[in-house]
Chain A
Amino acid sequence: MSEASTPIVHHGPPSSFIRKHVFSLDHKVIGKQYYALALVAVVTGMVLSWIMRIHLVWPTAPIPGLGWLSKAGAPGGVVTPEYYLSLMTMHGTLMVFFVLTNAPFAAFGNYFLPIQIGAEDMAFPRFNMMSFWTTFIAFCILIAAFFVPDGPPLAGWTAYAPLSAVGKDAGPGEGLGQTLWALSIFVFCIASLLGSLNFIATTLDLRTKGMTLARMPIVSWAWFITSCIALLAFAVLLPACLLLVLDRVAGTSFFIPSGLNVSDHLQPHQGGSPLLWQHLFWFFGHPEVYIAILPAIGIVSHILINSMRKPMLSHKTIIYCMMGIGFLSYMVWGHHMFLSGMNPFSALVFSFPTLIITIPATIMTLIWLGSLYGSNLRINAASLFCLGFISMFVSGGVSGFFLAQPSIDIYLHATYFVVGHFHMVMGVAAIFGIFAGTYFWFPKMTGRMMNETLGRWHFWLTFIGTYCIFMPFHYLGLAGNVRRYSAFTDDYLVPLLPVHRFITYAALFTGAAQLIFIFNLLYSHAKGAIAPANPWEATSLEWSTPSSPPPFDNFGGKHPVVYHDPYQYGVKSSTGDYLMQTSPERAGETP
């Protein structure tokens, strides 16, 4: 019995409903499950943000239905100060973890990475299935925090100790809800590690014949680099959450120093370091935001090349820039802690790589812009979101340049300037990447086209709307508007209320515009126009599958052979101005 003749079947086609749609080993189903979970999370997170914005501007307005969800937190539907902070905490946690880590990376990556490299499935389909359902369990644990007596946690998605560590004494919102938060994130870390493991092994080992690393599409590179970052980042958050849970329930003192008098109760802990939590958290937290943006960068580059009908000026450069950003992302975590009380010299040490990260980001932006020159840019919903991404990436990146300097950060730290910065890069740019990917890949995932008119309306309203929401955040920051306030009652904040009103109107308007997208998604799924096999005339392997959606083993029993890189646009071929990667044709030969 030698190993070569041992028959190994990857996994056969699923038969039962459960195996097909619930506990599926198929990376495509798992990708869609991640997408659905992200959709639920983003709608929840968005509704939370509406409630927050309404409360800030109309503090006494009752929110219909909220009193039913939490009698203590929103009696009669009027949000209390602690409940505002709880909603804010859940908003951040849902968005950063369950939307931005899930959708561009886990959802699209799971669906398309194996296909783009010519594989039947991920390297470890069972781990893949476990990874999704573990994420789902993490989601349920987090949502459970809404329903416990003390309410959801209110320490922010950053959960700084000792507020997050001392327990109930710290006030409402710091009871069981905070422990559930820590457990949820702990479980999420495990799920993420499993997922990253899969991505890395699949990319390294399952590429089909002819698919060298250099011939992988940029977006596959982005998923690969992201999974490398995620592997090391989540591995640090995992023990951090464990230590936090122990401080909360087991009486340890990792993060809690001695001598704390919280609500007249002297805390029994001693010797711990609140800064330790910050270091552990941000060592994860900064790479995490690059985990959120890199897949979007990959998706946007991938779609733009196709829309421009022209390769980028230099693909290698973009890939090296992504690697550079990934590498540098591990050196900058202290820029979240300039004023934290850590050694002030280290602030300068952290500031330098933070400023240097601007370089690969700028190079990529210049390459995108330079590649647009001389192209035949097709304008559609997908490419519009890509262009919008570039605009938002520039806006968000530029404000980061301010915050990277410790002396300026003295003034801007913890103001709305920071909130504007990260919302533009994460809350808009990364989301635009998800939208672009959805419009682009919907035909392949469902066999139908999304409605183009609705897509364009969605884009215009969202693009203008998000600028109206988040650009004014920077002005508020310059005025010194402190963040994480549930109400604006200070002498200097009250005059800024007209700005907040404008933002709230913009937020509600933009939120409503997302209904267009959701309607488009659901309607087109059922009744959209049947999609041709390769509606965008694209080159990469996902467009060469025998059907849309692809069959369970992606290529119908055959493994594709790859002859080209995915950038054969602007060439003369039998198919038009492009050459698919699987086409043995040479560029310039016409039949």
Chain B
Amino acid sequence: MGGKIFAVVVIVIALASAVPIISHTFLGASVTPPEDISTHGFEIDKQLDETMVEAGLAFLAAQLVLGFFVWQFGGRKDAPLKNFPGGAKYLILAALLLVGAEAIALGAVGSKAWAKVYFQPASAGALPIQVQAGQFAFYFRYAGPDGKFGTIHPDKIDEGNSNFFGLDPENDVAARDDIQSGEFVIPVNKEIHLMMHAKDVGHSFYVRELRLQQDFVPGLDLSLHFTATKVGKYEIVCTQLCGLGHYNMRAYLNVMTQDDFNSWLKAQSN
């Protein structure tokens, strides 16, 4: 009796688990990645979909077989024992071939998307923007008309006076026209080269719609490059535990048309 109940329960759970994946909603909330606004994200989404199908089928198959076998053989008493046809041999072979093939395929295909994000450097014409992550805010810096970033002096950081990056405009010419911003404003359809710097502890940069995530590592110069394809405001959140304000550490990515961006940049310089 218990066997039959188990079979029913496990099959119901398996099918019920699949429903939100297929319908993309659960209890009224949307539980799917948001719209992709990047140039590289479609490959990640494709990878995700393919994996979901393969993993989903494997999940359903295993749970259904488990349920079915427990229904059939659970609670059986004194019946003649039987071995699975072919014994272990074919099962081992199946696992080797199926999983091996999947692993190699996904690994090989997946490396393309990875390579696009990480192996190729930013192109020469990309717009360089710096971001500094610190407890508990992101600040962005634009090079200004001279195209050069001033040097960061950690000892000169003074948030009270809005010197977030510790710049020294008196002695550092390049720093004089640097533009600081709490918002990450970029033009649409233009490659951005985002240079990442951590002020204190580890943080991480995550924009769901951009399909982009990268840790800030104190002491390391890391960078990302990407191109946004749709105007709008999107959330940037910190995804590396950094202290009590971690849940509240966010900024906005504001993708503007090129004209709007130029106006914005000009307004910041004044």
| Chain A interface residues toward B at CB < 8 A | 80-82, 85, 154-156, 160-163, 166, 170-174, 256-264, 266, 272-275, 308-310, 313-314, 317, 339-341, 344-345, 347-348, 351-352, 355-356, 358-359, 362-363, 365-367, 369-380, 384, 387, 390-391, 394-395, 398-399, 401-402, 405-408, 410-411, 413-415, 456, 460, 463-464, 467, 471-472, 475-476, 478-480, 482-492, 495-499, 502, 570
Interface string of B58-97 (1 = CB under 8 A from A): 1100110110011011111111011110011001101110
Report whether B81 and A274 are in contact in the complex, using a CB–CB cutoff of 8 Å: no
Report whether B111 and A495 are in contact in the complex, using a CB–CB cutoff of 8 Å: no
Q: What are 21 inter-chain pairs, A to B, with CB distance below 8 A?
A: A82-B243, A154-B241, A171-B243, A261-B155, A274-B220, A310-B81, A313-B87, A314-B87, A341-B222, A359-B95, A369-B65, A407-B117, A408-B48, A408-B110, A463-B9, A464-B9, A478-B21, A478-B31, A487-B248, A491-B235, A499-B27
Q: How many residues of B contact A (CB 8 A)?
A: 111
Report whether A160 and B6 are in contact in the complex, using a CB–CB cutoff of 8 Å: no
Report whether A262 and B201 are in contact in the complex, using a CB–CB cutoff of 8 Å: yes
Contact of B66 among A85, A274, A387, A497 (CB under 8 A): A387
Contact of A355 among B107, B241, B245 (CB under 8 A): B107
Report whether B95 and A163 are in contact in the complex, using a CB–CB cutoff of 8 Å: no
Binding-face segment, B183-191, B211-219, B256-264? B211-219
Q: How far is the CA of A373 from the CA of B88 in the complex (A)?
A: 12
Residue among A263, A380, A408 with the highest chain B CB neighbour number at 10 A: A408
B17 contacts A by Cβ under 8 Å:
yes
- CB-nearest residue of chain B to A320: B92
- CB-nearest residue of chain A to B219: A257
Which B residues lie within 8 Å of A266 (CB)? Answer: 154-155
- CB-nearest residue of chain B to A360: B95
B32 contacts A by Cβ under 8 Å:
yes
Contact of A414 among B87, B206, B245 (CB under 8 A): B206
With A258-B219, A370-B84 known as contacts, the answer to whether A486 contacts B247 (CB < 8 A) is yes
Q: How far is the CA of A82 from the CA of B247 in the complex (A)?
A: 10
Report whether B243 and A339 are in contact in the complex, using a CB–CB cutoff of 8 Å: no
Binding-face segment, B98-106, B123-131, B142-150, B167-175? B98-106
Q: How far is the CA of A413 from the CA of B205 in the complex (A)?
A: 11
With A352-B107, A411-B33, A489-B247 known as contacts, the answer to whether A156 contacts B241 (CB < 8 A) is yes
Which A residues lie within 8 Å of B107 (CB)? Answer: 348, 351-352, 355, 405
Report whether B114 and A387 are in contact in the complex, using a CB–CB cutoff of 8 Å: no
Q: How far is the CA of A275 from the CA of B55 in the complex (A)?
A: 32
B250 contacts A by Cβ under 8 Å:
yes
B182 contacts A by Cβ under 8 Å:
no
Which A residues lie within 8 Å of B92 (CB)? Answer: 314, 317, 363, 366-367
Which A residues lie within 8 Å of B27 (CB)? Answer: 498-499, 502
Q: How far is the CA of A570 from the CA of B10 in the complex (A)?
A: 28
Which B residues lie within 8 Å of A411 (CB)? Answer: 33, 44, 48, 208, 211, 213
Report whether B154 and A344 are in contact in the complex, using a CB–CB cutoff of 8 Å: no
Interface string of B11-48 (1 = CB under 8 A from A): 00100010011000011111111100000000110011
Which B residues lie within 8 Å of A496 (CB)? Answer: 29, 31
A409 to chain B, nearest CB (A): 8
Report whether A410 and B213 are in contact in the complex, using a CB–CB cutoff of 8 Å: yes
Report whether A479 and B29 are in contact in the complex, using a CB–CB cutoff of 8 Å: yes
- CB-nearest residue of chain A to B244: A82
Which A residues lie within 8 Å of B69 (CB)? Answer: 369, 372-373
Which B residues lie within 8 Å of A384 (CB)? Answer: 2, 6
Given contacts A377-B73, A405-B107, A484-B241, 16 further A-B contacts (CB under 8 A): A85-B244, A163-B201, A173-B243, A257-B219, A351-B107, A374-B73, A378-B75, A379-B3, A407-B111, A410-B114, A414-B240, A464-B9, A472-B26, A479-B33, A482-B239, A492-B208
Q: List the 6 closest A-B pairs by CB distance, nearest first.
A: A257-B219, A374-B82, A355-B103, A344-B118, A314-B88, A82-B244
Report whether B215 and A341 are in contact in the complex, using a CB–CB cutoff of 8 Å: yes
